Amino acid sequence: MNDLRFDHRTVLVTGGAGGFGSQTCRTFGERGANVVVADLNLEKAAEVAAELPSAVAIQMDVTDPESIEAGIQAAVEAFGSLDVLVNNAGAPNRGGPIEDTSVKDMDWLFQINYRSSVLATQAALPHLRASEIGSIINVASISAKRPRPGHAVYCSLKAGVEGLTRALAVELAPEVRVNSVSPVIAETGFVKNATGQEKLTDEARASMVAGIPMGRPAQTQDVANAILYLASDLASFQTGVCLDVDGGRSIS
Ligand SMILES: NC(=O)c1ccc[n+]([C@@H]2O[C@H](COP(=O)([O-])OP(=O)(O)OC[C@H]3O[C@@H](n4cnc5c(N)ncnc54)[C@H](O)[C@@H]3O)[C@@H](O)[C@H]2O)c1
């Protein structure tokens, strides 16, 4: 047995066309998985799927319950099973004081960052229970523990994702393991959404990195590796783990 192989296993990654999502798709694809690249942006999802030996792209809007349900069904129709669900899609608000956060923004942040993981879990559960290795990995954020000003709703929803991970781990054991990863800042499309800038300024990057003992932001591969590990046989006794992928930010 090769503990890090996923031959004949199907892995669905929401937000699979983005920074962490696409690298996670590649990382599972390189290890033999059938990969379902699920994203709102079908064109980019198709580009990621085209790179992989066995993959399909599907359009999924994780803020829409019907779209989630349809996407999970499409994945099972494509490959006959679903073994690993990676609830990765999520987004920040543009940042700003709490008194300027509108009800509309709050509702959207809730839908995309938290409710999406609950709904995808519900839709995927019968298939994950039928798998020998059924597993869910949620993508939270180190901002759950180490929030930055201006993102109170986002940070607290990611704390909710960690809570959800632990609660579902006890509810779904022993059939389905549930774990999460909490990345520190990485320069993906997320940064553009959070700051409105294409790239971090040198000043902003230096200030972020100053709080990270390992002296750099996260790379997408750091996060993909942690997700791969948690889904693998090497982690077969681990459930309810919220794994920081943060270069030490949480302890600095
Ligand atoms: N990049 C960071 O600094 C960072 C740090 C901690 C946590 N995270 C979390 O990591 C996850 C992935 O973020 P990323 O950095 O790869 O961002 P990203 O912007 O590169 O990717 C996000 C992907 O989600 C897709 N998407 C947007 N809305 C969607 C919807 N409604 N339904 C389905 N897909 C949708 C986008 O098209 C994009 O492909 C998110 O949950 C984010 O909160 C990011």
pLDDT, residue 104, reads 95
- DSSP secondary-structure letter at 217? P
Domains of the chain with bracketed CATH: 10-242 (3.40.50.720)
Residue of 25, 36, 37, 39 to mutate, ligand 1, most atoms within 8 A of C-beta: 39
Residue nearest to atom 32 of ligand 1 (CA): 61
Alpha-helix residue ranges (DSSP H) falling in the chain: 19-29, 42-51, 65-79, 103-110, 116-130, 152-172, 189-195, 202-210, 220-231
Determine the Cα angle at 6 with ends 171 and 45, to 5°: 90
Q: Say whether 130 sits in a helix, a strand or coil.
A: helix
User: How far is ligand 1, taken at its centre, from the CA of residue 20, in Å?
Assistant: 7
pLDDT, residue 191, reads 84
Confidence of residue 94 (pLDDT cuts 50, 70, 90): confident
User: How far is ligand 1, taken at its centre, from the CA of residue 174, in Å?
Assistant: 29
Model-wide pTM > 0.75 = yes
Confidence of residue 2 (pLDDT cuts 50, 70, 90): low
Specify the DSSP element, H or E, that contains 91. none
Confidence of residue 124 (pLDDT cuts 50, 70, 90): very high
pLDDT, residue 1, reads 47
Could you tell me if the CB of 93 is within 6 A of ligand 1? no
Q: Say if residues 226 and 243 touch (Cβ distance below 8 Å).
A: yes
Confidence of residue 208 (pLDDT cuts 50, 70, 90): confident
Question: What is the percent of the chain with per-residue pLDDT over 90, rounded to a whole number?
Answer: 88
Residue nearest to atom 21 of ligand 1 (CA): 18
Q: Return d(Cα 180, Cα 203) in angstroms, integer.
A: 31
